[in-house]
């Protein structure tokens, strides 16, 4: 099978790229489950962009650099932030409906690390609104073919050129060739025992790119979101940073508001600082989100945060009347496949957009709501450089074997998640990292010859774990969300 574009992933990066690419040629979207199954779907807070009269690009740039511990690629920061308002307007043109203020202007929320209110949102379910709107458009595009329930297994690469991707579809292997291959496979939060990321986030894209010899960067910078609801099994439900943006505070098991002791911006400090403080306080006992200052304004809260309000209520908590147990959880991968500002990777014909990519926007710690922004701006670059004349097929072989009786690797996976959480999590030591590496190498030896998608995912996760550990070991000093003792 040959297409002009093959796009791996159907989060914001993949579907937005597909809509633009469809104007230039035939597009195939590959996605593991249903189109809407993505991190994007769960995004709550929104997209950061300069819209207020009080705000300007310089401030957004400065906030991004400061949150990223100045490890960012300044060119990427400038480029993406200056394009943000235009990217929002393009989403609106496609039918995405953002919340409005009383004057009918785009309403702006506040989140950690931002010096101004600049979070464009749709109540507290921004991602769902974006994903559902764009998926509807995808379904109507004649130039777009969608393979749901399809696993991208390997990139087809020879001599530094990417020709396509090998997939597993209905238990059969198939090679897909394309003039441009786009990796938009999202993040890797599932590497950790506690995460906000749904089960699709197993880091397959970075693992495939690594095996294909593609350049990676900053894998040690895993961001932990401070306020995941501390109840039930992982993935943990997120309580958006926008809740703290509206005034909620954090208390430790003694009832103390501890954040002012850690940072001048208290609860609205950059995310790495808040997660690290909670992690310290958790040694004494549980940590809570306290929004009881708003007990009088229940209706207003319910209107602003309908999803969070409802979810907590279903689980026996009242957002404005109870102390809500929270914990940090793995949330976002700041590093990944290195790209330039067109999304080009180090392999010819392979592009990468969204969380899987590392443009350098986020540096050592991502500023809140800069991820959807990066996905929207960068995937818009898909058609900015000319396509090669035609897709070639240097005849990559297909594996002969089909699925027989796969051995489950779920136990290996949960051991891996525990090791990563305990030794490669919020706080790291050289000793812990070395031990984690040893343990992962021993898990790697236990992996069966892959005979199911689950097996391939687990093998990818072990690869990713080793890559994170390797980068973390090399960075001996703390920086951003990499905290070393």
List interacting residues with ligand SIN (CB under 6 A): 44-45, 240-242, 368-369, 371
Among 144, 156, 178, 200, binds ligand FAD (CB under 6 A): 200
From ligand FAD, ligand SIN, none, which one binds at residue 190 (CB under 5 to 8 Å depending on kind)?
none
From ligand FAD, ligand SIN, none, which one binds at residue 127 (CB under 5 to 8 Å depending on kind)?
ligand FAD
Among 163, 192, 279, 332, binds ligand FAD (CB under 6 A): 332
Rg (CA), the chain: 22
> Residue length, the chain?
485
From ligand FAD, ligand SIN, none, which one binds at residue 377 (CB under 5 to 8 Å depending on kind)?
none
User: 353 near 98, Cβ under 8 Å?
Assistant: no
Which residue reads 């958006």 in tokens?
240
Q: Answer yes or no whether residue 371 interacts with ligand FAD by CB under 6 A.
A: yes
> Segment contacting ligand FAD (CB under 6 A): 6-14, 81-89, 258-266, 307-315?
6-14
Which residue reads 């030794």 in tokens?
423
The least distance separating ligand SIN from the CB of residue 339, rounded to whole angstroms, comes to 20
Among 3, 5, 7, 14, binds ligand FAD (CB under 6 A): 14
Among 7, 21, 44, 248, binds ligand FAD (CB under 6 A): 44
User: 17 near 213, Cβ under 8 Å?
Assistant: no
| CA dist., res. 161 & res. 146, Å (int) | 24
Question: Among residue numbers 235 through 264, which ones bind ligand FAD (CB under 6 A)?
Answer: 238
> Segment contacting ligand FAD (CB under 6 A): 19-27, 31-39, 342-350, 466-474?
31-39
Q: Please, which residues bridge with residue 242 across strands?
A: none
User: In the complex with ligand SIN, which residue's Cβ is closer, 189 or 343?
Assistant: 189
Picking from 185, 481, 155, 152, the residue whose alpha carbon sits closest to that of residue 356 is 185
Q: Which of 110, 118, 180, 271 is catalytic?
A: 271
Question: How many angstroms separate the most distant Cα atoms in the chain?
Answer: 68
What tokens does 52 get? 């207020």
> What angle (nearest 5°) sits at the alpha carbon of residue 82, between those of residues 79 and 85?
135
Say whether 271 is catalytic: yes
From ligand SIN, ligand FAD, none, which one binds at residue 40 (CB under 5 to 8 Å depending on kind)?
ligand FAD
Among 43, 129, 319, 361, binds ligand FAD (CB under 6 A): 43
Which residue reads 């690419």 in tokens?
21
From ligand FAD, ligand SIN, none, which one binds at residue 187 (CB under 5 to 8 Å depending on kind)?
ligand FAD
| CA dist., res. 357 & res. 224, Å (int) | 18
The least distance separating ligand SIN from the CB of residue 360, rounded to whole angstroms, comes to 17
Burial of 473 (0-12, 13-18, 19+ CB in 10 A): middle
From ligand SIN, ligand FAD, none, which one binds at residue 33 (CB under 5 to 8 Å depending on kind)?
ligand FAD
User: In the complex with ligand SIN, which residue's Cβ is closer, 290 or 457?
Assistant: 290
Among 372, 420, 424, 483, binds ligand FAD (CB under 6 A): 372
> Segment contacting ligand FAD (CB under 6 A): 2-10, 252-260, 288-296, 334-342?
2-10
User: In the complex with ligand SIN, which residue's Cβ is closer, 179 or 230?
Assistant: 230
Which residue reads 């480029």 in tokens?
79
Which residue reads 């990519």 in tokens?
357
Q: Please, which residues bridge with residue 337 across strands?
A: 216, 357
Q: Answer yes or no whether residue 355 interacts with ligand FAD by CB under 6 A.
A: yes
| Residue 355 DSSP SS3 | helix
Q: Answer yes or no whether residue 452 interacts with ligand FAD by CB under 6 A.
A: no
| CA dist., res. 313 & res. 308, Å (int) | 8
Picking from 122, 91, 95, the residue whose alpha carbon sits closest to that of residue 108 is 122
Question: Among residue numbers 137 through 156, which ones bind ligand FAD (CB under 6 A)?
Answer: 151-152
Please give the residue whose beta carbon sits closest to ligand SIN in the complex: 45
Among 39, 252, 276, 417, binds ligand FAD (CB under 6 A): 39
Backbone torsions φ then ψ of 394, nearest 5 degrees:
-80, 30
Residue 89: which residues within 8 A CB-CB, separation 6 or more?
A: none
Backbone torsions φ then ψ of 119, nearest 5 degrees:
-100, 110
User: 311 near 178, Cβ under 8 Å?
Assistant: no
Catalytic residues: 271
Q: Residue numbers of the site for ligand FAD (CB under 6 A)?
A: 8-14, 30-33, 37-40, 42-47, 126-127, 151-152, 184-187, 196-197, 200-201, 204-205, 238, 332, 354-356, 369-372, 375
């Amino acid at each position: 099978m040959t297409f002009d574009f093959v796009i791996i992933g159907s989060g914001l990066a993949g579907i937005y790229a597909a809509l633009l690419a469809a104007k230039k040629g035939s597009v195939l979207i590959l996605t593991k489950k249903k189109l809407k199954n993505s991190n994007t779907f769960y995004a709550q807070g929104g997209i950061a962009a300069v819209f207020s009269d009080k705000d300007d690009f310089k401030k957004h740039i400065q906030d991004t650099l400061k949150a990223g511990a100045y490890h960012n690629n300044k060119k990427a920061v400038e480029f993406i932030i200056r394009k943000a308002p235009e990217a929002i307007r393009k989403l609106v043109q496609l039918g995405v409906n953002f919340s409005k203020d009383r004057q009918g202007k785009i309403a702006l929320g506040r989140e950690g690390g931002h010096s101004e209110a600049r979070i464009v949102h749709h109540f507290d379910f921004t991602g769902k609104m974006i994903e559902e709107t764009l998926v509807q458009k995808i379904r109507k595009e004649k130039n777009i073919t969608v393979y749901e329930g399809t696993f991208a297994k390997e990139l087809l690469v020879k001599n530094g050129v990417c020709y396509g991707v090998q997939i597993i579809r209905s238990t059969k292997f198939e090679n897909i060739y394309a003039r441009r291959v786009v990796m938009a496979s999202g993040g890797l939060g599932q590497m950790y025992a506690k995460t906000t990321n749904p089960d699709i986030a197993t880091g397959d894209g970075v693992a495939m790119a690594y095996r294909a010899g593609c350049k990676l960067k900053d894998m040690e910078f895993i961001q932990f979101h401070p306020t995941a609801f501390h109840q039930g099994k992982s993935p943990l439900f997120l309580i958006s940073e926008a809740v703290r943006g509206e005034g909620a505070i954090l208390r430790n098991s003694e009832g103390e508001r501890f954040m002012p002791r850690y940072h001048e911006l208290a609860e609205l400090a950059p995310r790495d600082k808040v997660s690290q403080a909670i992690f310290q306080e958790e040694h004494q006992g549980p940590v809570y989100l306290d929004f009881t200052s708003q007990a009088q304004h229940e209706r207003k809260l319910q209107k602003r945060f309908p999803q969070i309000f409802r979810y907590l209520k279903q689980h026996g908590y009242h957002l404005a009347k109870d102390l809500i147990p929270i914990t940090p959880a793995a949330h976002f991968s700041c590093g990944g496949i290195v790209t330039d500002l067109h999304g080009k990777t180090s392999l010819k014909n392979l592009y990468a957009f969204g969380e899987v990519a590392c443009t350098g926007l986020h540096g050592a710690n991502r500023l809140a709501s800069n991820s959807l922004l990066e996905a929207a701006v960068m995937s818009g670059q898909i058609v900015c450089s000319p396509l090669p004349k035609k897709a070639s097929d240097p005849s990559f072989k297909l594996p002969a074997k089909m699925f027989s009786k796969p051995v489950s690797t779920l136990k290996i996976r949960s051991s891996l998640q525990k090791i990563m959480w305990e030794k490669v999590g919020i706080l790291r030591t050289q000793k812990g990292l070395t031990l984690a590496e040893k343990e992962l190498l021993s898990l790697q030896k236990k992996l069966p010859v892959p005979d199911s998608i689950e097996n391939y995912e687990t093998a990818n996760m072990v690869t990713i774990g080793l890559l994170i550990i390797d980068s973390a070991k090399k960075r001996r000093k703390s920086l951003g969300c990499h905290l070393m003792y």
